[in-house]
């Protein structure tokens, strides 16, 4: 992997992991397993280790959790609520202990004690007690800012309103809100019984999701109706500590009336830690709650303080994850689910089987290639695994080869009938009917009105979901058909709010070409690519003429008899790039662009948008000749007078290109406070650097 490939992969991983963080921590609707998520994190860490100067400011290695939900008020944690590094093998635990010994300069004979306790799969929560009384409860959020859930936490029986005994004036207890397996099953059964339509019953995927969704309710009465539990595993801000060791403080917390883990113990050797780990693992299926590993912590608090933190995790603790649990069953059907981004995911419907005390009926098959690799067909006996995952996965086909037809992956989207394609070099098959596909509509509508797209103020995800659910919004064109009268007929819409939204919509009826292209949600066409296309074609008519011409060229190309597919795809990719004729746009982006416009459904939706009174502004922003025209600029650190978006817009208006990473092709680095690896890399390469004041001077002198 070269530097350019590494930078691109880090950018992709940052976006993908951020999305999964939002789905897991904010939406309580994860799409991948814990193991798959950990694999993404490891991949990111390995690339950053090989190319440390490419580490991004939004790197997953620097991020904890996800942004707090919009419907809850926020609070900044006095001390960050960080996550833990993971170990997956005994050797990695030994390496962790070795690192601790080296950092503390301990000899091999010096005693190093560690505590070990089960890692419950719940929602992290902080409880702030002032003079023994519960004053504030908050979720972890993004590690720096959490959601205030005090009223909800007061309804949980395990969380005392007043601590008993002698307690410091200020003590912040941290732990996990969780739901037992039995209570989870009973809750889902109750939700099913209460639903008028069982097919539309709101049920939770697993106990962790149930706990998170229940604690983060607007109405504390809903939380009170859910059987939530809590146990403590640490602390945050305190006015004093009741002991000098991890174990001592945890026993004090238990003495104050807050539950801690029954299996919390102290060990002074690796054999003791691993023995405890194996013992908990052997009882895992019989426990009343989900756990996904064992956490080890250095016992002495003065050593914890010396060890400190690195990135998003403490040096003095690590989570030893459990391996996947396995079972055999029969594959009874293969269903295709279409995700919010158009990805077609095959799901195995299984003969019910118990795995680690949980009855499993579904498992992921990931993608078309995985089905072919496994060679699975309906009726095959298969081996599955579960490791506290959201959805288990198929490991192996146990059925011998027979003269039965292989599974045929669909070529059309099962939701909307649009063509489903797989791009060159990709493993995923995706629906091309992004603007009309029911599975993608809410996400596409949200993107269409987002800040960097059409930026329709007041039309957030809550309103979009409500309008979509009631049939008011089915496609982007419907946004421009909303009326004041329609809104006034809805609950909680008054004259002023209705008038404001209609005014905001009307203000976006003549969007710039680049924003409109970005708003369409075409795969691989981000803000920069949309601007490049807009600058190249300057009008919708010219852009559409290019698309029609490029589609005709691509359609006329057929592989020569016997020609290898790879060579044909290379030849076609080159022709398509030439037809699109826009700098910085390669075969992958060009083909994705043409795939979108080749789908008739997408063209119909765009025609409906225009029919609803939208007209694209043909004149794009002119660039000025300036000292940075044609140069590549990287912004890093904190900008104080400008937002990052404003600085980027200024640079592009002056004819410069803004990049996300520093390389030999970078011409200027603008570094604000907190600039790190990018500034260091620029200095090593001898690249010109300036601060924010220097950048503002360049803009002013250019008349920007």
Do the Cβ atoms of 133 and 177 come closer than 8 Å?
A: no
Quick count: other Cβ atoms within 10 Å of Cβ 442? 17
Report the DSSP beta bridge partners of residue 669: 634, 689
Reply yes or no on whether the pLDDT at 43 is more than 90.
no
Q: How far apart are CA 322 and CA 120, in angstroms?
A: 12
Residue 197 confidence (pLDDT):
55
- Find the length of the chain: 704
Q: Which of 70-74, 326-330, 397-401 is the least confident region?
A: 70-74
Active site residue 119: yes
Q: How far apart are CA 701 and CA 240, in angstroms?
A: 56
Helix (H, G, I), strand (E, B) or coil at 590: helix
Reply yes or no on whether the pLDDT at 254 is more than 90.
yes
pLDDT, one tens digit per residue, over 318-354 is 999 988 778 899 999 999 988 767 889 899 999 988 7
Fill in the DSSP letter of residue 621. P
Closest CA to 74 of 142, 120, 7: 142
Closest CA to 421 of 435, 406, 432: 432
Q: How far apart are CA 336 and CA 413, in angstroms?
A: 9
* CA-based radius of gyration for the chain: 28
Quick count: other Cβ atoms within 10 Å of Cβ 291? 22
Average confidence score pLDDT of the chain: 86
Closest CA to 203 of 222, 183, 188, 193: 188
User: Which position has the token pair 């029954």?
Assistant: 262
pLDDT, one tens digit per residue, over 211-243 is 988 898 888 888 899 999 999 999 999 999 999
Residue 167: partners with Cβ closer than 8 Å, 6 or more residues away = 129, 131, 132, 256
Do the Cβ atoms of 430 and 495 come closer than 8 Å?
A: no
User: Which position has the token pair 């960080």?
Assistant: 82
Helices (H) and strands (E) in the chain, counts: 25, 24
* CATH numbers and ranges of domains, the chain: 3-63 (1.10.287.610), 86-321 (3.30.470.30), 325-397 (2.40.50.140), 441-611 (1.10.150.20), 632-701 (3.40.50.10190)
Residue 67 confidence (pLDDT):
47
Q: Which of 173-177, 249-253, 419-423, 612-616 is the least confident region?
A: 419-423
Quick count: other Cβ atoms within 10 Å of Cβ 60? 24
Q: Which pLDDT band, with edges at 50, 70 and 90, does 68 fall under?
A: very low
Residue 29 confidence (pLDDT):
59
Here the tokens at position 296 are: 């080890």
Here the tokens at position 358 are: 């949980």
Instruction: Given the residues 119, 297, 321, 681, select the one marked as catalytic.
Output: 119
Here the tokens at position 650 are: 């200024």
Fill in the DSSP letter of residue 61. G
Q: Which pLDDT band, with edges at 50, 70 and 90, does 97 fall under?
A: very high
pLDDT, one tens digit per residue, over 417-445 is 888 988 766 788 988 876 778 778 888 88
Report the DSSP beta bridge partners of residue 277: none
C-alpha torsion 597→598→600→603, nearest 10: 20
Residue 674 confidence (pLDDT):
77
Q: How far apart are CA 445 and CA 428, in angstroms?
A: 23
Is the entire prediction scored with pTM above 0.75? no
Q: How far apart are CA 355 and CA 353, in angstroms?
A: 6
Q: Which of 72-76, 345-349, 447-451, 563-567 is the least confident region?
A: 563-567
User: Which position has the token pair 């080749």?
Assistant: 598
Q: Which of 166-180, 188-202, 322-336, 666-680 is the least confident region?
A: 188-202
Do the Cβ atoms of 415 and 439 come closer than 8 Å?
A: yes
Helices of type H across 195-245: 207-215, 220-224
Do the Cβ atoms of 630 and 467 come closer than 8 Å?
A: no
DSSP states along 153-200: HTT-TTS-SB--SS--SEEEEEEEEE--HHHHHHHHHHHHHH-SSGGG
Do the Cβ atoms of 105 and 121 come closer than 8 Å?
A: no
Q: Which pLDDT band, with edges at 50, 70 and 90, does 668 fall under?
A: very high
Q: How far apart are CA 25 and CA 22, in angstroms?
A: 5
Helix (H) or strand (E) holding 43: helix 34-50
Helix (H) or strand (E) holding 18: helix 3-21
């Amino acid at each position: 992997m070269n530097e350019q490939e590494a930078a691109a992969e880090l950018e992709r991983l940052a976006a993908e992991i951020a999305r999964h963080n939002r789905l897991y921590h904010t939406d309580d609707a994860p799409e991948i397993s814990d193991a798959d998520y950990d694999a993404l994190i490891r991949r990111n860490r390995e690339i950053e280790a090989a190319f440390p100067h490419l580490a991004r400011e939004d790197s997953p290695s620097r991020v904890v959790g996800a942004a707090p939900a919009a419907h809850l008020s926020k609070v900044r944690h006095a001390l960050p609520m960080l996550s833990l590094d993971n170990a997956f093998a005994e050797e990695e635990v030994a390496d962790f202990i070795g690192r601790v010994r080296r950092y503390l300069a301990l000899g091999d004979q010096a005693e190093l004690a560690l505590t070990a306790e089960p890692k419950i799969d719940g929602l992290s929560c902080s409880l702030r007690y002032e003079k023994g009384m519960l004053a504030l409860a908050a979720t972890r959020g993004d590690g720096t800012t959490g959601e205030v859930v005090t009223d909800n936490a007061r309804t949980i029986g395990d969380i005392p309103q007043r601590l008993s005994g002698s307690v410091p004036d200020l003590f912040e207890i941290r732990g996990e809100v969780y739901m037992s397996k039995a209570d989870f099953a009973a809750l889902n059964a109750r939700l099913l019984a209460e639903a008028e339509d069982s097919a539309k019953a709101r049920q939770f995927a697993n106990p962790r999701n149930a706990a998170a969704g229940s604690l983060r309710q607007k109405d504390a009465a809903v939380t009170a109706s859910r059987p939530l539990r809590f146990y403590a595993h640490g602390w945050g801000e305190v006015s004093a500590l009741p002991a000098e060791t991890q174990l001592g403080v945890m026993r004090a917390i238990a003495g104050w009336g807050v539950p801690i883990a029954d299996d919390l113990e102290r060990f002074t050797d690796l054999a003791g830690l691993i023995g405890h780990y194996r013992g908990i693992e052997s009882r895992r299926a019989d426990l009343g709650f989900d756990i996904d590993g064992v956490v080890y912590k250095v016992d002495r608090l003065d050593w914890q303080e010396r060890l400190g933190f690195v990135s998003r995790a403490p040096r003095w603790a690590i989570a030893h994850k459990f391996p996947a649990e396995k079972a055999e069953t029969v594959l009874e059907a293969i269903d295709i689910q279409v995700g919010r981004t158009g990805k077609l995911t095959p799901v195995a419907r299984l003969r019910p089987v118990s795995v680690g005390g949980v009855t499993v009926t579904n498992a992921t098959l990931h993608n078309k290639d995985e089905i072919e690799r496994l060679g699975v067909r309906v009726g095959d006996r298969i081996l599955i695994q579960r490791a506290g995952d959201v959805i288990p996965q198929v490991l192996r086909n146990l059925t011998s080869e027979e003269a039965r037809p292989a599974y045929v992956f669909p070529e059309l989207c099962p939701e909307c009938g649009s063509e489903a394609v797989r791009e060159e070099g990709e493993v995923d098959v995706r629906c091309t009917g992004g603007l009309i596909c029911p599975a993608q509509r809410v996400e596409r509508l949200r993107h269409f009105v987002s800040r960097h797209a059409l930026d329709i103020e007041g039309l957030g995800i809550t309103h979009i979901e409500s309008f979509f659910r009631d049939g008011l919004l089915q496609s982007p064109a419907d946004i421009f058909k909303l009326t004041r009268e329609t809104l006034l007929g809805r609950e909680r819409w008054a004259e002023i709010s209705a008038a404001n939204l209609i005014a905001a919509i009307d203000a976006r009826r003549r969007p710039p070409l680049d924003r409109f292209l970005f708003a369409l949600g075409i795969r691989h066409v981000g803000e920069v690519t949309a601007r490049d296309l807009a600058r190249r074609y300057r009008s919708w008519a010219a852009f559409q003429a290019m698309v029609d011409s490029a589609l005709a060229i691509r359609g006329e190309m057929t592989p020569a008899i016997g020609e290898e597919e790879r060579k044909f795809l290379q030849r076609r990719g080159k022709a398509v790039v030439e037809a699109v004729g826009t700098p910085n746009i390669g075969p992958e982006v060009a083909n994705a662009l043409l795939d979108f416009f080749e789908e008739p459904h997408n063209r119909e939706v765009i025609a409906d948008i225009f029919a609803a009174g939208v007209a694209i502004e043909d004149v794009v922003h002119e660039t000025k000749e300036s000292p940075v025209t044609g140069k590549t600029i990287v912004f890093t650190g904190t900008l104080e007078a400008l937002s990052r978006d404003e600085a980027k817009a200024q640079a592009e208006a002056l004819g410069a290109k803004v990049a996300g990473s520093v390389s030999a092709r970078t011409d200027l680095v603008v570094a604000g406070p907190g600039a790190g690896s990018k500034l260091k890399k620029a200095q090593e390469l001898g690249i010109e650097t300036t601060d924010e004041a220097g950048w503002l001077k360049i803009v002013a002198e250019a008349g920007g």
